[in-house]
Amino acid sequence: MKPVHPDAVLLLGFGSPASLDELPEFLSRVTGRPPSPELIARTRSRYARIGGSPFLEISQRQAEALQARLKRKGHALPVAPAFLHSPPTIRETVNRLAGQAVRRLIGLPLAAHASPLSTRAYAQATVKALKDCGQPITFIMISSYYDHRLFLDAVAEKLERVFTKHPRLSPAQTPVLFTAHSLPSSLIAKRDYLRELEISRKGIIRRLGLKKSELAFQSRGAGPGAWLEPDVETVVKYWAKQGEKAVVVSPLGFVSDHVETLFDLDVRLKELAERIGLRYYRAGSLNHSPRFIRALADLVEEQLK
């Protein structure tokens, strides 16, 4: 007999190739067209440099930790990772849960800040999959949680560990670079992405007493037109010219490690910083940290009530 659950949680994410062999298909899904050999080679090199992306494994561990946390609090319901551009896809996961007589799905994005290319796209894909599956399932989307107390505590905790581990760094003196994924400016003209990121940054500043910090954007795509600024390279170069000796990077716009943190920050940005005389430190990504999992569980519980 198939398990029956009235409620379930979709842990929604962008996706990632499980191996380098899957990279061309993944890039096709992301761009909507066959990738050029140059794009495949360039992307393959980045993934190879970091030993492959741990995103899928981390997402599975996040789902398992969240399900266990909810069960301890009296909510026995499945938590399933579902991705926009790689297996298990949103459509596949919705169809599987529909077969388990699920009547309500709670969509929880692996992104704290609302964006048309992440949270909005996840919601649209889920609504379409539900419509196509033909089952009467209610869908509730948690669009963002940028100001949730436990989320901000979790980010601050990761930053605080850097200062504790390296006593010569100081929250009152060392500049902190908060990063988020760049987007085409036209996509966010009337949206809350920037506002939500700034609210998060200010919440962490208050928690740690930071005196020097900046929000900057990374991992810009190849599309035409204007993209969000400033980019991380510009800010790092400016701080070096101002005589700073170190920079601490916090990937505020990301909740998991993947190529954008492990290559774009820990390889490319680190090499730039050290080349121009800045010591580079990075706060760890949230991944499956207990405080972050508590934040996710709290968000789900609010909907279950």
As a CATH number, domain 7-145+289-304 is 3.40.50.1400
User: How many alpha carbons fall within 13 Å on the CB side of residue 260?
Assistant: 22
| Burial category of 223 from C-beta neighbours within 10 Å (exposed 0-12, middle 13-18, buried 19 and up) | exposed
Pairing of strands 7-13, 279-282: unpaired
What residues does CATH 3.40.50.1400 cover in the chain?
7-145+289-304, 149-282
Give the helix/strand (H/E) hosting 215. Answer: strand 213-218
CA distance 193 to 180: 10
Classify the phi-psi angles of 243: left when phi > 0, otherwise alpha if psi is within -120 to 50, otherwise beta. Answer: left
Locate the DSSP E strands across 117-198.
138-141, 176-181
Mean pLDDT, residues 200-215 taken together: 98
Residue 206 has pLDDT above 60, yes or no: yes
| pLDDT at res. 305 | 85
What percentage of the chain has pLDDT greater than the value 70? 97
- Give residue 66's identity as a one-letter amino acid code: L
Mean pLDDT, residues 212-235 taken together: 92
Q: How confident is the model at residue 177 (pLDDT cuts 50, 70, 90)?
A: very high
| pLDDT at res. 4 | 54
User: How many alpha carbons fall within 13 Å on the CB side of residue 51?
Assistant: 4
Q: How confident is the model at residue 138 (pLDDT cuts 50, 70, 90)?
A: very high
| pLDDT at res. 1 | 46
The residues near 219 (Cβ < 8 Å, ≥ 6 apart) are 181, 182, 260, 264
Name the 3-class secondary structure at 79. strand
CA distance 275 to 293: 37
pTM: 0.95
Using CA of residue 115, residue 120, residue 122, residue 125, what is the dihedral sign? negative
Closest CA to 189 of 164, 146, 225, 215: 225
- pLDDT one-digit tens code per residue, 239-279: 999 999 999 999 999 999 999 999 999 999 999 999 999 99
Quick one: CATH architecture of 149-282? 3-Layer(aba) Sandwich (3.40)
